[in-house]
Structure 1
Amino acid sequence: MFIKYALPVLAAAQVAFADCGSGNTIKIENQSDADGYANCKTLKGDVQISGTYNGDLQLSGVQQITGSLSCDGAANMTGFTASSLNSIGDSFKLSGLTTLTTLSFGSLNKVGMIEFAALPQLQSLDFTKGITQAGSVSITNTGLTSLNGISLDTVGGFDVTENRFLKTVNVNNLKNATSLINFAGNMDSLEIEFANLGTGQNMTFRNVSSVSLPSLEKLKGQLGFWGNKFTSFSAPNLTETSDLIFNDNSKLANISMPVLKTVNGGFQIARNDKVGSIDFPKLETVTGAIDFSGEFNEAHLDSLKLVRGDFNMQSTGNISCSPFQKMASGHDVIKGKYVCEEAKKNPTTRDGKSGSSTSTGSASATSTGAASAMDISSMPAMGLAAVFGALVQYAL
């Protein structure tokens, strides 16, 4: 008799378990499909929202998704709410939701990775609790004005591009990044603050009006700035980085890195015409090349002990080359090719390109040690990351 009644109960339990997923993809095409999972605290597997979804979607009751949550191409989805969801095991991916205006995930704090793309009407993130854990973050072509709700402690990659209305980025809790942090093509007045970021891998910034890195101490990879609008940059605690690049920042007048000691790669400052003085008082070692060109009147590298690559310094200003000439004598400090020219009408970078906005350079330099983005043999002198970084910028 027990078996007679127990078997139907067991079968019903198995159906209920199957309804919450069994590791396969769970597909949601309408609100009724979503309502069918309201009694599931955990959905096992990936959750895929149909590209034909229309209107608002509410995913109620669900607290965890073990796989990914995605929606691609649902141009008529206007809102997406999951108030109880606190974790997504894999990626949270939304793409091509061109009329989405509301994204409300008030309990969400843990995600495998975030990938948001082509969400032009989405102006804010309603992530009340705040996402504190994510392997990586990629946000491209959205209407977001801030990244409030993303409160990471540690992240892999952090890629934020082509968000034309993005005004501020303040990730106060972030202390470490293990892959590329990249900002490009956002609002020109974008202000970026990583108040507690102490260590990282690669960081590149383009078209921003402010970058604050007060706690940054070490970067394993490149730190690069192209075409930005800020007037000054300070990294008061940075002691070590790989390739270091300041290129074509038209308003930049002051660079302050008072304790920078080591550049494990190339160091370039070019086409920053408002920079009047270059001074890195603690810099001792550059394992690649030094390549400074522009309109500056002073250059001080008083602690320099080793430059393994070439040394190129050219300026329209009346800099003094004599201290660097002594460093180059007998290859004592500067091991590569040495060039230093003051009061030069058309200063150039070591690859022959113009070093200031008023100068004209040749892009076809053939001198020994000249850098080229496509010249593999030059990578040890300037640093592989610099070449990679240059290629990334062209790709954006």
Structure 2
Amino acid sequence: MAIMKFLLPALAIAGMAAAADCDGQTIQNQGDADGLASCKTIDGDLEISSRVSGTISIDGVERITGKLTCKGAVNMTELSAAKLAKIEDAFMLSGLTTLATLKFDALTEVDSINFEALPRLQQLSFTKGVTKAGSVRITNTDLVNLNGIDLETVGDFDVSNNPHLTEVNVNKITNATGFVSFSANHRDLKIKFPNLENALNMTFRNASDVSLPSLKKTTGLIGFYSNYFEDFAAPNLTTTGDLVINDNSMLANISFPQLETVRGAFQIANNTNLKSVTEVPKLKTITGALDFTGNFSEVELPELKEVRGQFNMQSSGKLNCDPIKENVKPNVRGTFTCLGDVDDPQTRNPTSTGSNPSRSSGAALSGYVPPSGMTILALIGAVIRAAL
């Protein structure tokens, strides 16, 4: 009995010491998570084992200096952390095929978000809203919106293969410093960036609406591929890198009323309902090539004074090339082609980056441009242009 009098307090002290271990570690079960209740800060990475099941609730932790990750925990149905406000490295969830609830009431800041293969997750319960993230990647989830991601600035923003995602409204973003890409989500997806003014590189695929009312400048590519909207307008866009409008079968109207400079190639191709291109009244300079092909019968470029690359305009419609030859041809440094009433209008590899989104690897038909092609080369082109 005397031994027990000393042994029990010693065991209690040892248990307290273990519970007070706030270094990075792996959670194997809810008991491990409960052991972190006294830790306001986890110093290092916090990993959730692929062997966990059911509900994991991380209570007490307010900050993780490293990553929060969980990969392949196919039996975990719920993950929550009521007080966690900041993850200083990546927040990565992958292959959680039964996860239906993700509840982080206090989370406002992460270095990056990477959610992939979460087929049961329909909403993000981020009550305060994540306002700071260096990058966001969300792919192969069951999300219907991105409520809870309330960023002011972002680097890369990749949202793809979310079959029930119908709304993306990121009201506060004014600056996107990386690659913004949307593809293969719900056909009715509406994408709204109401306050975005500056971007590096943006591509939109398979969306029913894209709204960029405040956008003034993109340094690199802005591209629209295989979308379903009938109208697109960028009322405040003045300068962009490559501008590509390709294979949007329902598109009937485009408007760029303030656009003056395309620092790269300007391509419009395979938009079967687009009969005229007349709402680019201030366009003066294209530092790459111009490549318009389709079924249009009217094109007006009244202020175009310089095309440094080739000029290729071909239409199966009744396009009158005489005014274009008279007013634009003298300002073209490269080869000049303008043809109306042709059976098979042909693009001419126009992009300043050396790739053709309408012909390379079936890109226009699939709505996909391999990352080693247009996207990466557009970044290289943007860096070169910025240095000039």
What's the TM-score bracket when you normalise by the shorter of the two chains?
0.7 to 0.9
Bigger drift between 381-390 and 75-84 goes to 381-390
**What is the CA–CA distance in structure 1 between the aligned matches of 2:99 and 2:66, rounded to whole Å?**
23
Please give the secondary structure, in 1, of the residue aligned with 2:93. strand
User: Residue in 2 aligned with 1:112?
Assistant: 111
Matched residue, 2:35: 36
Letter in 1 for 2:78: G
Report the equivalent of 1:395. 370
Q: Rate the CA distance shift 1:387–1:202 in 2: closer, same or farther, 3 A.
A: farther
Secondary structure class of the residue paired with 1:335 = coil
Query: In the alignment, which residue of structure 2 is the partner of 1:294?
Result: 294
- Which residue identity does 1:342 align to in structure 2? G
Once residues 146 and 84 of structure 1 are traced to their aligned partners in structure 2, the CA distance between those partners, rounded to angstroms, is: 24
* Alignment map for 1:72-111 (pairs within 5 Å): 72-111=71-110
Q: Could you say which residue in structure 2 is the equivalent of 1:68?
A: 67
Distance 2:355 2:195 in 1: 25
Partner residue of 1:339?
337
CA drift of 1:275 comes to 0.8
Equivalent of 1:20 in 22, 27, 31? 22
**1:167-246 paired onto structure 2 within 5 Å:** 167-246=166-245
Residues 260, 386 of structure 1: alpha-carbon distance in 2 compared, 3 angstrom cutoff? farther
- Helix, strand or coil at the partner of 1:189: coil
Unmatched tracts of structure 2, length 5 or more:
1-9, 372-388
Check conservation: 1:85, 1:105, Cα contact below 8 A: yes
Letter in 2 for 1:395: P
Q: Aligned letter for 2:288?
A: G
TM-score by length of 1: 0.85
Question: Is 1:82–1:104's contact at 8 Å kept on the other side of the alignment?
Answer: yes
| Equivalences for residues 295-310 of structure 1 within 5 A | 295-310=295-310
Distance in 1 between residues matched to 2:254 and 2:315, nearest whole Å: 17
Match of 1:326 in 2: 326
CA deviation map 1:278-299 (0-9, x unaligned): 0210000001110001111100
Deviates more, 1:383-392 or 1:68-77: 383-392
Partner residue in 1 for 2:285:
285
User: Match of 1:69, as an amino acid?
Assistant: L
Aligned residue pair count: 353
The 2-side partners of 1:199 and 1:385 are apart by 25
Distance 1:239 1:321 in 2: 27
Aligned residues of 1:328 and 1:335 also touching (Cα < 8 A): no
- How far apart are residue 191 of structure 1 and its match? 0.4
- Partners of 1:36 and 1:15 in 2: CA distance: 10
Give secondary structure in 2 for the equivalent of 1:201.
Answer: strand
1:135-180 Cα offsets, whole Å, 9 max, x none, are 0000000000000000000000000000000010000001100011
CA distance in 1, matches of 2:91, 2:354: 29
Whole-angstrom distance in 1 between the partners of 2:356 and 2:32: 50
Cα pair 2:305 2:328 within 8 Å, conserved? no
Letter paired with 2:209: S
Amino acid at match of 1:317: G
Alpha-carbon distance in structure 2 between the residues aligned to 1:124 and 1:292:
41
How far, CA to CA, are the matches of 1:290 and 1:150 in structure 2?
Answer: 38
Matched, 1:383 2:352: yes
* Deviation per residue, 1:37-65 (Å, 9 max, x gap): 10111111000000111101000010000
Letter in 1 for 2:340: E
Describe the SS at the equivalent of 2:326: helix
| Separation (CA, whole Å) in 1 of partners of 2:321 and 2:369 | 33
Check conservation: 1:161, 1:186, Cα contact below 8 A. Answer: yes
SS in 2 for 1:46: strand
Secondary structure of the corresponding residue to residue 127 of structure 1: coil
Between the aligned partners of 2:304 and 2:95, the Cα distance in structure 1 is: 52
Look up the equivalent residue of 2:300 and give its one-letter code: H
Q: Which runs of 5+ in 1 are unaligned?
A: 1-7, 351-370, 372-380
- Give the structure 2 partner of residue 138 of structure 1: 137
C-alpha contact 2:243 2:262 (8 A) present in aligned 1: yes
The answer to whether 1:59 aligns with 2:58 is yes
Contact 2:77–2:98 (CA<8 Å) still a contact in 1? yes
Match of 2:4 in 1: none
CA separation of 1:17/1:31 partners in 2, compared to 1, >3 Å: closer, same or farther?
Answer: closer
| Residue aligning to 1:258 | 257
